[in-house]
Amino acid sequence: MIKKNLLYILIIFLFSVNQVMAENWIPVQADNGKTAEFDIDSLVITDNIARYRVKQKILGEDKIFNMVTNFNNKTSAICDIEIIDYTGKRKFESYSSKLKYLPIRKGSLNQVLYQFLIYLKESNINDVSSSRELKRYINKLQKKIQGSWHPNNLYELGYFQPDEKAIAYVTLFVHKNGNIHYVSYQNNTNTEYDEFNEKLKAEINKFYTKHKTLEALPENFKGEGVVIVVKYEYFIQDKLQKDFSSNWNNVGIGYIECNKKFFRAYPVLRLFILPFKFIYGILEESYEDAFGR
C-alpha cells in the first residue's frame, strides 16, 4: 500500500514538473496596449482549427485561457479559464460545452494572436526545423543583434541597476521579404528598477528602430513569414553565459539569445573621461564663436 502511494505521489510530481517544463511563454502586445503571453508548446493546429493557451494578468490574478481559433471564418472562442490568485489558489471556469465563437477584431490582442497563428500554420514546419539556409539565416541574425546593443552605456550615477541580471524579450513577426510587421517588448526585471528598465528598453529598441527590414528569408521558404523571439540577458553579478544560441523549435518559431556582461571598470572610466569631454565642449564652443557655426 505504501509503495502504491509513493508511486502515485511520484507520478503526480513528475506530471507537475513536466507541465511546468512544457510551458514556454512568449509575450505579445496589441495596438490597444493589452498584453498577454502565448504558450507556444501548447499549440496544436489540425486542418483549420488551432488550439492553444494564453495567459494574462488581470486585477492581480493570473488567468490562463484555453483558446480555439477557426481559420475558416476568422473567429475564436474560450474553452476554459484557469484563475490563479495572489495566494496561489486556483479555480476553473469551463465553457467547453457551449463554445461562443466571436469575430477577431482589428487592433485587438486576438488579432495579434491570429497573425501569429497564420504565420505558424502556413510555414512548413519540417522545412523550418531542418533547412540549412534557415539555420544560417537565424545564426547570422543572432550575430547582428548581439553586436547592436551596448547595455554598459546605460550606466549613470544616481540610479540603481539590478543586483544580478536583467532579462528582456522581443517578439518579432518577420515577413518572407524581410519586413518586420510586429515588434513586442517585455522586460522581466524587477519593477523597482524603473529608470534602468526604461533605459534598457530604449537601448534594445535602437536596433528595431533602425532596421525596419531584415534580410529576406531564403527563397525555398514556403510560408508567409516567421515568428522570432529574442532573449536579452545583461549579467551584472551573475556569471556570463557565453553559449549564445539560435535555432528553430518544432513549431517553426525562431529563438535567439543575446548576452552581455557589465564591465565593472566602466563607471571609473566614465569619471576619468568626463573632464576631457568637458574641456572638449568648451573648446568646441569657443571655436564656433570665433569662426561661426
What are the structural domain ranges in the chain? 25-122, 123-262
pTM for the structure as a whole: 0.67
Phi, psi of 57 (to 5 degrees): -100, 115
Read off the pLDDT of residues 121-133 as tens digits, 9 standing for 90 and up. Answer: 776 655 555 578 8
pLDDT, tens only, 252-261: 788 899 888 7
Q: How many residues does the chain have?
A: 293
**All residues at 6 or more sequence positions from 26 whose CB lies less than 8 Å from its CB, including other chains:** 37, 38, 40, 169, 171, 229, 253
Q: Tell me if 196 sits within 8 A of 154, measured CB to CB.
A: yes
pLDDT tens digits, residue range 239-252?
555 656 788 876 77
Q: How do beta strands 61-70 and 49-58 pair?
A: antiparallel
pLDDT in tens, 203-219: 999 999 999 999 999 88
The label of the residue with cell 485587438 reads 108
